[in-house]
Structure 1
């Protein structure tokens, strides 16, 4: 085989070890593609600071009329809140406020993303919600998609006070293990297929939701996954569902990765779940 092939094989583990595999998890984009008002939504910019001093940015979408609750939205690993907003843009007209947070390195948030640093960003966002007078007396939900679902599940599983404050949690297209999803992605490349197992072990797995998803109970949990998702296969959600304790629900859908809320029937089902678990 060509020498370059072997050079690439040698380079990959070195690159992964030096980068901490962050390039396999985070694909931030600084460019803001649109603002909520373009979609006819009333909103406020939110600026807050993580515990290590990193300044973060988010949007607070105002509900139409008297709010019945608030949804803390954690987006996937690519781009930023301006490209993920359509996943939750339908919620304000149903009476729910929405807080969208950009992790460090995404959009207008400072810094560079990594684990466990982004979990401190989630903590900062959650604390902002607890301090916000328009939220404190309302039902509070978390909706996470893909990487955001992983962060949400692990964060709540590791913090009893968070679980006690939430009314319910929705995870859309989560993956059970950072290490396992890394191995699966490496297996899809000819150059990394032979080393998928040793390379995947370079990915830290301490913050995978499979580790503590059972701790979410008795918080009502809804896991959504598409049987045709080619980015995060449905078996990840099924594994998390099996590991979770009651009360829990698993919904199998059809469609592309995190395209769930492009379908009205899925929006209606989630809306029913939120209303069912309002306190």
Structure 2
């Protein structure tokens, strides 16, 4: 009887191979779960609706404090049921209108310093904030995928308000990336200033993961892309200024970036500059953080932007039509639908 019991215990005891396989499977499931958890956290943080955290976000500067004759305006996006809020500042006798937009979770008041100086330089101004990023609306947001429709709506509104003027654009951070993608899709924008843009949607997420978790983003890349599709309805490769920037030429673009940027990888700026066609400018500031060029030297910053728009909007002839432009593959093909950034 004892021999039989020993044999039964021997048969029920797992072998070392079974233990190893079980450990690998269990560990693999645990690792996969951790990766999925991090990926979901990244996406949920990215698209989370904005909430007020303190009174400073509720009470801020307006055109009134700067004696700007601004009008409160709203306009529809190119696609969407919401309305976009902005300020339109007419300048008597202006032959140009500059559209200005802040970045991710930014407010239109963030760009007031640039607004007032470009208005004094003789431009109409249209400054707006992306829906759900400036004011609290309780709706999920994206990193440029749906917001591009707000910018294209701003282009339509600017042409409606001042149809005889030429359009330029200044964008910051996500707004700069959107300006690049939008200018590639509409010939109405004749001159672009992109301050601290990212080259791809993946880039700022990869940069943040590396700086906070000190881990390579390749561990989470595929799963984050899947979660982004599941939770927000788009993929990384559908928001890619690096792919679009070459289509802006022959219209001019100026790229500005601080080399101590803690939000967008400074290496994105040379990538975008290399991919852009002529005419183009690259202004790198060794000590500036994210969107910090204006604060490094306000006078120089304003002078650069004023000279850029004077040269390319006030003094220069309009660039050749995009429909007439030739490239290495032959005639310019018609662009895809404007429905989303992709």
The TM-score, its normalising length taken from structure 2, stands at 0.70
1:137 aligns with 2:164: yes
Query: Post-superposition shift, 1:13?
Result: 2.1
1:121 aligns with 2:156: no
Query: Post-superposition shift, 1:239?
Result: 0.4
Structure with higher strand content = 1
Equivalent residue for 1:3? none
Query: Post-superposition shift, 1:9?
Result: 5.9
Query: Post-superposition shift, 1:230?
Result: 2.9
Unaligned stretches of 5+ residues in structure 1: 1-5
Query: Equivalent residue of 2:262, what SS?
Result: coil
Of 285, 304, 311, which aligns to 1:276? 311
Query: Post-superposition shift, 1:136?
Result: 1.5
Aligned 8 A contact 2:74 2:83 in 1: yes
Equivalent residue for 2:338? none
Query: Post-superposition shift, 1:268?
Result: 0.7
Equivalent residue for 1:231? 263
1:53-106 Cα deviation digits (max 9, x unpaired): 11221111233x422411111211133112332233321111112111111113
Equivalent residue for 2:183? 156
The 3 A distance-change label for structure 1 pair 108 and 223 is same
The 3 A distance-change label for structure 1 pair 238 and 27 is farther
| Distance in 1, Cα, partners of 2:40 & 2:221 | 13
Equivalent residue for 2:86? 58
Equivalent residue for 1:194? 215
Query: Equivalent residue of 2:93, what SS?
Result: coil
1:93 aligns with 2:116: no
RMSD, matched Cα: 2.6
| Distance in 1, Cα, partners of 2:36 & 2:150 | 35
Aligned 8 A contact 2:111 2:127 in 1: no
Query: Which of structures 1 and 2 has the bigger CA Rg?
Result: 2
Query: Equivalent residue of 2:117, what SS?
Result: coil
1:266 aligns with 2:301: yes
1:225-263 Cα deviation digits (max 9, x unpaired): 122333323211110000111121112224232122332
Query: Equivalent residue of 1:100, what SS?
Result: strand
Equivalent residue for 1:243? 275
Query: Post-superposition shift, 1:109?
Result: 7.7
Query: Equivalent residue of 1:225, what SS?
Result: strand
| Distance in 1, Cα, partners of 2:136 & 2:151 | 13
| Distance in 1, Cα, partners of 2:68 & 2:302 | 18
Query: Equivalent residue of 2:242, what SS?
Result: helix
1:129-165 Cα deviation digits (max 9, x unpaired): 1211xx21112101111110100101121x1xx22x2
Report how many residues are paired: 263
| Distance in 2, Cα, partners of 1:153 & 1:242 | 14
Residue correspondence of structure 1 range 165-244 to structure 2 within 5 A: 165-190=188-213, 193-194=214-215, 196-201=217-222, 202-203=224-225, 204-244=236-276
Query: Post-superposition shift, 1:40?
Result: 1.6
1:39 aligns with 2:66: yes
Aligned 8 A contact 1:28 1:77 in 2: no
Unaligned stretches of 5+ residues in structure 2: 1-30, 226-235, 318-342
Query: Equivalent residue of 2:157, what SS?
Result: helix
